[in-house]
Each structure stands twice: as structure tokens, then as C-alpha cells.
A and B are shown apart, each in its own frame.
Chain A
Amino acid sequence: MSDRIQEKLSILADAAKYDVSCSSSGSDRKNTNKGLGNASNGICHAYTEDGRCVSLLKILLTNHCIFDCAYCVSRKSNDIKRAAFTVQEVVDLTINFYRRNYIEGLFLSSGIFSNADYTMERLIRVAKTLRTEHKFNGYIHLKTIPGASEELMKEAGLWADRLSINVEMPTKKSLALLAPDKKQEDMIKPMQFLKEAIIANKEEKRLFKKAPKFAPAGQSTQMVIGATPETDLEILYLANGFYKKMNMRRVYYSGYVPISNDNRLPAIGTPVPMIRENRLYQADWLLRFYGFNVNEIVDKKNPLLDMDIDPKLGWALRNLNMFPVDINKADYQLIMRIPGIGIQSAKKICDARKFGAVTWEHLKKFGIAVNRARYFINSNKEFETKDLQPMQIKQFILQESQSKYRPNFSPQTKLF
């Protein structure tokens, strides 16, 4: 009995792990009913050996699937072991892991068995049982099954903190090539529906405090990168559209892990594009927190992100006319854009300079990456930046940072 559960867990966790989303933040579900758990900032309880955050019990309800998406291990034509959890088994695992402080909650997804609604109903039943029978207030993320009815999506939003629909591929063309059973509209339409339902619920909550929550942590999506020939320009413009038009909380980029001999896809053994994935996350970070416009990061002339250096440094080198910046006078917004200075440090500089000039020595003590910042700041007497060409600066920085600023290949990175 327990061996069987363990086997199922190994199959259904293994099949779910390619969905890179791990976030458990953005919800504010409180433990007001003296029940179990709450959802707030999101904690990573562990990190796998590949350095990724483990925050949720991320599993499939089943890996049986009637579709045949080429990039997916669970595809119909793949000859693998199949398994399925019962609703009760998922509930028990979630509760018992949660009580031991292993996880923040559950991320439940599934292959499509019989049809979309049937599958979606099961996912909802798990969430509903947790919330009603176990007074569970931890985080629940449900994957929405493409093609599920709007009524079911509405119900899912009542129990879940976050819902997601994966766009899978950056373009329609790639989707048609690799996932012949799916159409991009089947994903965009429900995203639109969720967006409106979430906005409507926010309005409602403003009027009636007691109105039930609807997906308080919003929606997210994911696309596989490196399986198909799209440029970073196409990827980032799509992501930007999701942020701007769909109020998406997060877009995840999943570097394709070769799992198949299908000749439409990179062969097994091809390295996972981890640096590229990392650069995309850095670019995404610039869009969401640093006030960058997408066309400052990639454009027709530069459709690919530089793999040697991070996109913020890349932007600075293309815009040397904006530098050097006087850290004692410049706007916070501009200080944040100096390579080597992050949001925290920019705040510190702006706070400290009210008491007197911030000097080069102070910057060092603040823990700023002065080795890269120094080319872009003018309060630095030690170093003349005049007349250096972008390529020279890049070379200097790369030489100095051989090991120190190597990107860490993690979607959770905050490295600048």
C-alpha cells in the first residue's frame, strides 16, 4: 500500500517537474478559522540539487493524457509508466507534508484523461476538500486544463490562490508544429476570462468585504524556450503583452530539457539552455521592477539577449550617453539603472545622501558591485572612464568577473 503511494509519487512528481513555476507568494489567505495554515510571502522550504526552490508539492493528478504534445513526457505516444492519484491521496499528502513544514501548499496539474471538464472537475475536488473538510488555508495553485468550461474555471478560482494556463510555445507556428491538439486561442481565451473574473472580484471585494476570494494570487503562465527557433525579441514581447494586457503575475521561461528523439526537437543530450533562460529572467525582472520598457531590452537591431553579460549592463553599454551618473544628484529611477546597483542599494544611496555626500568609500561598504558600477558613476576619483568604448568596458568587466559574476542558472535569481 505505502509502496504503491511512493511509486505514484515518484512518477507523478517526476512528470510535473518541468513546470518551473514554484511561487507561493502573492496571496494573503489568513488562518482566521483556527484551521491549518496560511498563505503570505511564500517560503522555499528546500532547494533541489539543480538549485531550484521547492515550495509546493508539485504533482500531476495523473500522467495519462489523450494529447500528444511533442515536448511533454506525458504525451500519449510516449511509452512510459502511467499512474493516477485518487482525490483522497492528494489531500492526505498535502496535509501531512504541510503539517511537517515541508511545503507552502499544493500545485496540482494533470494530463487530460477522457476530457477537459472531467479532468478539471477532479482538480477542483481536491482543492475544495482541502478548503472545506480540512480548513486548509495554505497555498493552492491549480493548472487550468485547456478547453475546460467557464463554470469550472469560476469554481476553481473560489478554492485556489492561483490559476495558470500555460501558453507553452512563444508562437502559434511552433505550437501547431509541436502540439497539434492545441490552439493558442484555447489558452488566450481562458486567460482573458480569468483576467476579467479577477478584476470583477477585486471590485466586488471593495464593495463587500465578505465577498469570497477569487484566485487572490492571480494567474501565471509558462513557455518552453529553446525547443523552437524564436528570438528573445519574440519571447519578451509576448511576455510583456501578458504583463500589460492580461495582468499576469508571472511569466515563466522553461529551458527545454530534451526528453525525446522526435526530430522536430533538439536531440537528447543537447544542453538545457540555462544561460539563456537566466538572461530571460533577468530581462523579465527589468520589466517588472526596474521600470524598463521591453524595447529598451531587445529591438529589431538587437533581437537576442547578450549571453556574456546581463541585460541591464547590455542596455547601459548601448546607452553610454546617459552616463556617468552623479549618484548624489540623479533620480532614484536612474540610479537603479546603473550596472552593479540593485533596488536595495539604490534606496540606500538615496536615503544616505540626504545626510551628506555619498562617496566611493560608502558605496564599497554598502556592498555594491563597484567593479562594474565604477564605469558608470562620476563620483569616482580612482578611475577615469572618459573615452572608453562600450566594447572595452565590456572586456574589462568580463575579465574581472570571470568567476564572481557568473550567472547562477536559477529562475529565482536576483543577480545584477
Chain B
Amino acid sequence: MNTVVYDGSYEGLLSAVFEIYEYKINDACIVKKDEVNGSLFGAVHTVETNEEKSKRVYKKLKDKLTPNALSQLFKTFLSEEKNIENVLYRYIAYTLSSRVSVENNFSHPDVLMLQQTSRKVHREKHRMEAFVRFQLSKDGLYYSLIQPDFNVLPLISNHFEKRYADQRWLIYDSRRKYGLYYDLHKVEEISMQFSENMNDKNALKAIIDEKEELYQRLWQQYFSSVNIAARKNMKLHIQHMPKRYWRWLTEKKG
């Protein structure tokens, strides 16, 4: 087996695919840089992320895949699941080797895997569009901390930019330690240290807008008032709002 090491970025992965073809590497196994462990057998090939190379692979894929499949590819990558690089590589190789479109051949294990994984990531994207809760700071910034299961920030950027065009906002992924910041003109990826006790009540008092607590309280009131006790169904409630998200949700903190 030949190990191909890349930097963990999507561009890096596409560059790796390019080089596997370029150097005719057989039996390749793609591994993230910081997941390489000492006991490697066979040759190791390290890939430098290269814009030119990744673009060429991307263009080739764009010719062969529908926009939907192209986006499934990216979403599957964002799942960060173990060994997902090699599923993607096999999928790409299968796509490039076939004259006809294979993206709907769900009997093929990699095609099915891509479809199912991208769906999970898509669900998480949708969840974050729903579960982000902004708090207003004294200087007029709407900020939110999240910890999504998958790396979905790149997928939700567009949605929030369109929706909240007239307010400054920041969505920070405190697990992956980076965020999206919108300054009324454009969205930027930023990395910073945003300590988790920013979500803590006392630390917050100092920085939040004076009306913030009121609206949080009103929202909690609303959330409990719309509940119909005679219809209580906690199982369904938890199925839709899994407990791991509660600490970030204003209405579940009360």
C-alpha cells in the first residue's frame, strides 16, 4: 500500500487525487497530515496543496457530474469521517473511468455511501440553520456559538449572509476553533480564541446588550406557552432536538 499524505483541506484532497494520477501511484491510501501514524508500510508520498492541480480535478468532475453530485462530494468531505478520503477517491476514480454517468448507481457501495453520508451532513447543515441562537452584544454584534457534528460552517455561510444582511454577526464553531464573521459587506472565515464560558451567564452580563436578557426571557416564555401539555411527547421532542444541542439553545437553558 502507498500512503498519500495531504493537508486536510478540500483543495489538498483534490491535489492528492491529481498526483495519484500524475505519478501513477497504485494502491493509494490517502491520509490527513495530522493523522499519519508512525507504523506506515510501503512508500509515503506527501502532497503539496496546489491550486492549479485541484482546479483541474474540479473542472473534470464538473464536466462529469451534476451540480447535485458535486455538492454531495463536498458535503461528504465535510463529514470528517474516518477514511472518508478514500471513499471520495474511489468515487472520483469510478466517475472518471466510466463513459456514462454513474452518480445514480446506488447499488455501487461508494455511490451509496456518498449519498448517505452527504445526507447526514446536509441534515446537520439544516440543523445549524435552525439552531443558531444569536445574542446581541453591547457593540451591536449578533454572535452565536455552535458545536456541529460535522464541519458545516462552509455550508451555512450563504444562508446567513442572505438572511441577516443588515446586521453584523459572528457564528463560531467552538469545536473546530474557527468562525464566520459578517461585517455588513461580506462574510469572512476567522480563527480566534473564543472561550467557552462566553456562554456562561456571569461572563456574559458584562458584554451583552441591555435588552438581550429580556428577549431571551420572552423567547423562553413563548416556548413554554406554545406547548400543549395534553399532547406531551418527549420522545418526539428529543428526536427532533437531540440533547447534545441543548446547551446552545436559549429555550432549553431557562
- Please give the residue numbers on chain A whose beta carbons come within 8 Å of chain B beta carbons, in ascending order: 2, 5-6, 9-10, 13-14, 16-18, 30-31, 34-38, 43-54, 57-58, 93, 96-97, 99-102, 135, 255, 257-258, 271-272, 274, 348, 351-352, 354-356, 358-359, 362, 365-367, 408-410
Given contacts A355-B105, A358-B107, contact A46 B166 (CB under 8 A): no
Cross-chain contact of B162 among A31, A49, A51 (Cβ < 8 A): A31
Q: What is the CA–CA distance of A197 and B113 in the complex, to the nearest angstrom?
A: 47
Q: What is the CA–CA distance of A257 and B223 in the complex, to the nearest angstrom?
A: 19
B146 → chain A closest CB, angstroms: 11
Given contacts A50-B231, A100-B133, A365-B112, contact A31 B221 (CB under 8 A): no
A45:B130 contact, CB within 8 angstroms = yes
List of A residues within 8 angstroms of B227 by Cβ: 17, 48-50
A46:B102 contact, CB within 8 angstroms = no
B129:A43 contact, CB within 8 angstroms = yes
Given contacts A38-B163, A47-B240, contact A58 B226 (CB under 8 A): yes
A409:B231 contact, CB within 8 angstroms = yes
List of A residues within 8 angstroms of B232 by Cβ: 49-50
- Please give the residue numbers on chain B whose beta carbons come within 8 Å of chain A beta carbons, in ascending order: 102, 104-108, 112, 115-116, 126, 129-136, 142, 144, 162-167, 211, 214-215, 217-219, 221-223, 225-237, 239-241, 249-251
Residue of B nearest to A367 (CB): B116
B130:A44 contact, CB within 8 angstroms = yes
Q: List 16 contacting pairs A-B, 8 Å CB cutoff, sorted by A.
A: A6-B218, A13-B222, A35-B165, A36-B165, A45-B130, A47-B241, A48-B228, A50-B232, A50-B233, A99-B136, A101-B133, A257-B228, A257-B230, A348-B115, A408-B233, A410-B233
List of A residues within 8 angstroms of B162 by Cβ: 30-31, 38
Q: What is the CA–CA distance of A281 and B240 in the complex, to the nearest angstrom?
A: 19
Cross-chain contact of A9 among B218, B229, B236 (Cβ < 8 A): B218
Q: What is the CA–CA distance of A58 and B235 in the complex, to the nearest angstrom?
A: 24
A44:B225 contact, CB within 8 angstroms = no
B165:A44 contact, CB within 8 angstroms = no
Q: What is the CA–CA distance of A318 and B166 in the complex, to the nearest angstrom?
A: 57
Cross-chain contact of B215 among A30, A43, A96, A135 (Cβ < 8 A): A96
Cross-chain contact of A34 among B131, B135, B165 (Cβ < 8 A): B165
List of A residues within 8 angstroms of B241 by Cβ: 46-47
B225:A46 contact, CB within 8 angstroms = no
A44:B134 contact, CB within 8 angstroms = no
Given contacts A97-B215, A365-B112, contact A49 B167 (CB under 8 A): no
B106:A351 contact, CB within 8 angstroms = yes
B231:A257 contact, CB within 8 angstroms = yes
Residue of B nearest to A135 (CB): B166
List of B residues within 8 angstroms of A47 by Cβ: 236-237, 240-241
Residue of B nearest to A11 (CB): B225
B104:A31 contact, CB within 8 angstroms = no
B230:A272 contact, CB within 8 angstroms = yes
B3 → chain A closest CB, angstroms: 30
Cross-chain contact of B134 among A10, A35, A99 (Cβ < 8 A): A99
Q: What is the CA–CA distance of A37 and B229 in the complex, to the nearest angstrom?
A: 32
